Structures are given as structure tokens and as C-alpha cells.
Amino acid sequence: MDNTKKVEEKLLDPQRVHPELRQMFEATPPSSFTWEGLVQMREMMNGMMFGFAPPADPDVVITNRTVPGAPGDPEVRVRLYEPKEKKTPCPGIVYIHGGGYIVGTPETTDFSCVRLAKEIGCVVVSVDSRLAPETPYPGPLEDCYAALKWLADNAAELGVDTERLAITGGSAGGGLTAGLALLTRDRGYPKLKFQAPLYPMIDDRNITPSSYEFTDRRLWNREKNEFGWKAYLGDLYGKDDVPIYAAPARATDLSGLPPTYTFVGELDLFRDETTDYVTRLMQAGVSVEYHIYPGCTHGFDMNVMTEIGRRAEADYVRAMKEALTK
């Protein structure tokens, strides 16, 4: 079912936006995506994210490696973050960057990965999953599974405890996290201790009230969301038989998934699909911690210059640490 009917843009009242985020929101120019401008957009957005990159941390060693891809697929580049003083065996985390399935690199999430490695004392494997539309589903998800399998298969060499494996990511990275949790459950390997799909992009149908509410082109809005899903799903877009691993909101059986932490902004298009997802997780017997941040827009946590961004990041790290050090 194709729900890409044209919806008139409605500007978001700045007074609804959290005071710390309001000035940046008002200064953000409206934007739209085009296939022709995709390469330039990637360069621009990656450049913006590098602006948030932290200075080098002497306590965390960062290396780039390549790991085997799925059969018939190319090798996958991963970015490895390890505490210099590592107590082994330690937890292992696979981190999946966001970017609407169409932009992003592991380097753009250095801040979060360094913090997780340092504060939890764990090994973080950040995946350079291939991007759509050049590589539609299932390629990017298989890249993430390949990284997770490599982490589990090489746990002894890496000093990782296979009983304490977790997966996480935000936005499209959250969608890949939720899809990877389902895929790992159904393949039976490896066992996951925890997942944290943050404000995940999980519903290709765009049928929730919040997917109609947020059309302002200064936001990740309905138009951009449709663009990302068309790129990721390719010929599957608009069909009724989209696999649950591609769009986890379509999954009817969420039993057997690992305990889950997530959050979303009140003014995020993904608010309602996230709320529905965690509600159904709990109904399936999965333990969940869920936060909605008032007045916050999509990706607000990446702005660590704000107190609200730092608070969301700190709470996320706290939840990951509690889950993996019990």
C-alpha cells in the first residue's frame, strides 16, 4: 500500500520547540532531497556532523578494519573503539550510524562511540554499512549482521564477553538496530543481551499521526522520510509484503527480543511509530525503558552543546552501562 499522497507543508510553531533548541530550529533553512543532489547532500551532512566530533581521547584507541561480508557481498569496513585499559572479558556493542538510510559514516558518530567505550569499558564496533539507493535492502542490514557476527566469532581475540552483546543506533541506525534484533533472533546467532534503537526509522507506511503532523521542511519531515524509504526499499516500496527486517514496525511477533532502551523527541516524526513499537514490545513480554523529551525535534541528542542533548546522551549511556555490567 503506497501512502505517498501529497501533504501540504505546515510550519511548526517555534514556541513548541524546547528553549535550548529553538534558536537553531529558527535558523535552519528549509530543505528537500533530490536524487540529483544526493552526493552533494552527503558531503554537506557529513561535514556538519564532523563539526560535533570530539577531540581525540587518549583513553580510547580507534582503528579501522574490514570484516567478511555476507556471502557474495563485499567486505565491510568497521571502526573499532577500545579502552586503552580494558578489563576483559568486557561487553561488546555494535553501533549503527543514522542518516535516513542514504547518508552517514561511522566517523560521524565518533562522539557516542568513544563515550560508550570509555564509560562502559567495552569494545564498540561501528559499521560502515552501505547506503541506499546504490545498495537497497537487504544489503545495509546484512552489513550490520556481518559486523555483529564478526564481533561474536572473534570475541576471544577482542576480549569480549559473548554473554554481553548489544546493538544500538539512532534514526535509520535505530531502524537497522530493530531489524537486526529481529534477524538475529530468527537466525539464532549470536545471543543479544540488549538493544537500544533510538528514535528508530521503522515504518515505511507513513501512517501514524506524527508522520502527517511534521511536514515543516526545516525538520526531518514526511517528504524526506518518504525519500529515504524509497531509496532503501527500492522496488519493494509501496508494497504490502515489505519484510519485517526492512521495516520492523510491520513485525507482528516481537517475542524473544532483548531488553530495550529508547527515546524520542515530542516533535519527531518517529514519535508515534516508536511509541507503538515499545508498547508492543512490552505486550510481548520484553522489558522496555522509554523516554519522550518534550519540545525536542529529530536528532536533538546530537547537539551536545545543549543541556537537554547532554541529558539524553547521558541517560542513554547510563541505560547501556546498567544493562551490560549487571
How far is it, in rounded angstroms, from Cα 217 to Cα 313? Answer: 26
Alpha-helical regions (H) of the chain: 19-27, 38-50, 110-116, 139-153, 155-158, 172-187, 209-213, 222-233, 271-283, 307-324
Query: Does residue 298 carry a catalytic annotation?
Result: yes
Catalytic residue among 204, 210, 298, 301: 298
> Which residue out of 171, 203, 210, 216 is catalytically annotated?
171
User: Cell 507506511 belongs to which residue?
Assistant: 205
Cell 523516554 belongs to 291
CA distance 170 to 275: 15
Catalytic residue among 110, 143, 216, 268: 268
**178 neighbors 195 (Cβ within 8 angstroms):** yes
Non-local (6+) Cβ contacts of 202 within 8 A are 174, 175, 178, 179, 247, 248, 249, 270, 273, 274, 277
Residues serving a catalytic function are 171, 268, 298
